[in-house]
Amino acid sequence: MLSVALCFAITASASYASPVNVKTVSYKDAAYYPEHNTAAEVIAKHDSKVSAEASATVASVNHDTGDRVNQGDTVISLDCRTYKLQLQQAKAAHDAVNAQYENAKKLFASAQKLQKQNNISLELYNQRNADASRLKAELINTKAGIEAAEIAVDKCSIKAPYDGYISERFISKGELAQPGTPVFQMITSEQGHVEAHINSFEYESFIQGTNYQFVFNGVGYALAVDSILPVLDRNYRTHTAILSFIDEAAPTGSHGELKWHDNKLALPSSLVVVRNQQAGVLIANSSTAKFIPVESYTEGHPAFIELEPGTQIVSTGRHGLKDGDSITVVPSNQE
């Protein structure tokens, strides 16, 4: 049987265990703004297949693959003789109706004078009025015919819709172009934008992030967020983000990385401990360890927590250490 003195000694030893030697690091030295990255690509703002809008034979190819063109430049010219004849006919019909209308207006003006003098029958007066109104309507119709024919003639010149480069040509001289048939493809010379797919876990971090960059061939290009879809993409199950270059731009079509930083400070996951199924960090509160819980923590990820800059976080000796345990902080240069 143990003596009373021995039992007391054992009890005292259990109650007043020796302080645990620990090392610490200050919050201001350990905390950082976590960086995120995902694959991204520079997409052209316009990359179009330009189609014919008229049925005609290709008369000439004015610009070929690789050529730079300005908005409005004629790239493909179609044989426009048929449409030009239709325009001439429309103008001739308009001139004929216009001559009849001018005559009808004069006859109606005379009828108005005679009507005031009661020298014209009501039937003839009404006829003069109806003739002038009918020819006025026909004149409007023939004018519309001219505009339609002019549009058809204009469609014989297939033009560049914007400044850019011809990336591919699909038709050659002598071939028949049909409405809706692509004749060339062009890409804009305008600065492209960055497109990336953000997973749901990083969505909040992205929309509240800072220092967005597109990294290509080791060079970082500053970005600004234009938009991010709040709904998930059907194919990728991610959020599609569009960003624009602030200053210098990476080449259109380049594949690289989109990087950004969180706007909140966090601690490395290596400093996180779990006590009673709660994640947190242990700090040195004078000569006692204190457990500070971290809310919404995901294992292996940075721990977002705000502490005073000088707060000393236990970095070594924390395994098995509990809230309230006695500690002795050992200088970091001491083993």
pLDDT of the residue at 233: 83
Neighbours of 69 (CB within 10 A): 21
pLDDT of the residue at 2: 42
One-letter-per-residue 3-state SS of 67-125: CEECCCCEEEEECCHHHHHHHHHHHHHHHHHHHHHHHHHHHHHHHHHHHHCCCCCHHHH
Kindly tell me the burial class for residue 55, based on how many C-beta atoms sit within 10 Å of its own C-beta (0-12, 13-18, 19 or more). Answer: middle
Q: Name the residue with tokens 């030009």.
A: 84
pLDDT of the residue at 319: 87
d(CA 141, CA 134): 11
Domain range list for the chain: 17-32+266-329, 38-45+191-256, 47-80+156-188, 81-154
Domain 17-32+266-329 classification at class level: mainly beta
CATH level 3 topology of 81-154: Helix Hairpins (1.10.287)
pLDDT of the residue at 335: 57
Instruction: Check residue 62 and report its DSSP letter.
Output: -
Side-chain-side CA neighbours of 37 within 13 Å: the count stands at 10
- As beta bridge partners, residue 16 has none
- Give exposure, 171-203, as e/b (b: 16+ Cβ within 10 Å): beeeeebeeeeebbbbbbbeebbbebbbeeebb
Angle at CA of residue 110, ends 105 and 111, nearest 5°:
95
pLDDT tens for the chain, 335 residues: list them: 444 444 434 443 443 468 999 999 999 999 999 999 999 999 999 999 999 999 999 999 999 999 999 999 999 999 999 999 999 999 999 999 999 999 999 999 999 999 888 888 999 999 999 999 999 999 999 999 999 999 999 999 999 999 999 999 999 999 999 999 999 999 998 889 999 999 998 999 999 999 999 999 999 999 999 999 999 888 888 999 999 999 999 999 999 999 999 999 999 999 999 999 999 999 999 899 999 999 989 898 999 999 999 999 999 998 889 999 999 999 876 65
Neighbours of 240 (CB within 10 A): 15
Same fold flag, 47-80+156-188 and 81-154? no
Give 241-307 as a DSSP string: EEEEESSS-PPTT-EEEEEEE-SS-EE-GGG-EEETTEEEEEEEETTEEEEEE-TT--TTS-EE---
**CATH architecture assigned to 47-80+156-188:** Beta Barrel (2.40)
- As beta bridge partners, residue 43 has 193
pTM of structure: 0.67
